[in-house]
Amino acid sequence: MTVSHSWYITYLLTKDIYIKEVRVFNLFTYLFNRFSKLRTIFYYQNLKLFKRKTIFSFVYQFVDFLFTIVVVIAAIQSALSGEILVGNLMTYINTTSKLDNAVQNLTTSLFSIYQDSLYSKNIIDFFKFTSFRKKTDRRKIKCRKTIKEIDTIEFKKVSFKYPGTETYALKNVEFKVKKGETIALVGKNGSGKTTLIKLLAKLYEDYTGQILINGIDLKDIDDSSYSSAFSVVFQDFNDYQYTVKENVGFGSLKDMNNDEDIYEALKKADMDKVVDTFPNKINQQLGTWFEGSIDLSGGQWQKIALARGLMKKVKLYILDEPTAALDPQSEYIFFKRFIKSTKGSTSFYVTHRFTNVKFANMILVLNNGQIVQRGTHNSLIKQEGLYRRMFDYQTMTYKGE
């Protein structure tokens, strides 16, 4: 535990992605002191182990020495008194020395077993860990159905608690989506929007109720055929220290070398013009880690992640706060292009900005894990309720009231 915590702090203090906050929030001294404390604990634990080992070795060697002396003296005495021959004496001495070596090897091995056993708890805990997926994986995999495209989606009384928690992250969620519809998920932080998306992406399966895809229970659908049928951009997307082409191409590996497709995806994410300014265009190395790299702004990285998501040609797109890092103009351009380019596909997106919800056919308003309102923007704005309160609050904030 101590070692892994100190490793984590090393990571925080040395990885470029964390260092920004470490500097801005002045965390260096605090983290470094924690690191020193942990290393001190680790040092004393090690020292204790070393002391134990030294005492044990000393006692063992002392006993061993006494034993050898006794055997050799007894053998010499027997040789002097003529009870045994000189050859026998040598055999006794050699045997004692071999026995001594064997016992020494045995004790060294026992000690290293003891030392390793101190770390084995971690691995035992790891093997003991039964993933929530395991239960469903035990189902007969051969019976799993494959799908090519996602046409309809239905949530039937879906409730879900994260493993190890007691509160529902989603409760009795019900909705039905037809092919080609655009669904916006809105609600306060912690209301269950991302959880809904995670269940739809089949990241968790221990929910109650049913999720039906094309009328088939999602739990019965083969994992890889399902994941080939949708694309998702999570809010904590990755920024790969690779070229633009690789960053985008990871969305659809089979098309990675199709430059036209890469450009097309970049265009949908409104990133094509920026990439054109790079010395190596789509072969430009991105990031900060390697020589010749160009680093991007947060918004540009997000556009690259969106291009990656849109590179995959599927019938379901899931976007979790896809434009959080974009300026309002880029956001507007993105949504217009997104809706146009994904026409005919179903899409889900989580958003906090009410300017984006007008693109949706249906808005689901979540609160405490439940859908509390649903409808279009025009219908919801006319109703008293959470949606209007959130909308009013945002417009008031924009007006500076």
Task: Write out the residues near ligand ADP by the rule CB under 6 A.
Answer: 162, 165, 169, 187, 189-195
As given in the structure block, the two tokens for residue 26 are 């002045």
Contact of 352 with 185, CB cutoff 8 Å: no
Residue 103, judged by CB atoms within 10 A of its CB (0-12, 13-18, 19+), counts as middle
DSSP output for 326-348: S-HHHHHHHHHHHHHHTTTSEEE
Q: Which is nearer to ligand ADP, 199 or 271 (CB)?
A: 199
Which helix (H) or strand (E) is 101 found in, with range? helix 86-128
Which helix (H) or strand (E) is 117 found in, with range? helix 86-128
Closest approach, Cβ 386 to ligand ADP, in A, equals 13
Closest approach, Cβ 169 to ligand ADP, in A, equals 3
Cα–Cα distance list, 149 to 3, 84, 138, 152 (Å): 47, 91, 25, 9
Phi and psi torsions of 150, nearest 5°:
-105, 115
Q: Which is nearer to ligand ADP, 96 or 367 (CB)?
A: 367
Closest approach, Cβ 190 to ligand ADP, in A, equals 4
**Cα angle 185-187-190, degrees, rounded to a multiple of 5:** 110
Q: Which is nearer to ligand ADP, 194 or 342 (CB)?
A: 194
Q: Which is nearer to ligand ADP, 130 or 165 (CB)?
A: 165
Q: Which is nearer to ligand ADP, 170 or 307 (CB)?
A: 170
Closest approach, Cβ 49 to ligand ADP, in A, equals 36
Closest approach, Cβ 202 to ligand ADP, in A, equals 16
Q: Are strands 230-233 and 316-320 parallel, antiparallel or unpaired?
A: parallel
Closest approach, Cβ 325 to ligand ADP, in A, equals 16
| Short-list 191, 185, 301, 172, CA closest to 248 | 301
> In whole angstroms, what is the distance from residue 401 CA to residue 394 CA?
10
Closest approach, Cβ 118 to ligand ADP, in A, equals 30
Residue 374, judged by CB atoms within 10 A of its CB (0-12, 13-18, 19+), counts as middle
Q: Which is nearer to ligand ADP, 199 or 307 (CB)?
A: 199
> In whole angstroms, what is the distance from residue 283 CA to residue 293 CA?
11
Q: Which is nearer to ligand ADP, 165 or 397 (CB)?
A: 165
Q: Which is nearer to ligand ADP, 26 or 165 (CB)?
A: 165
Q: Which residues contact 38 (CB under 8 A, 6 or more apart)?
A: 2, 5, 6, 9
Closest approach, Cβ 332 to ligand ADP, in A, equals 23
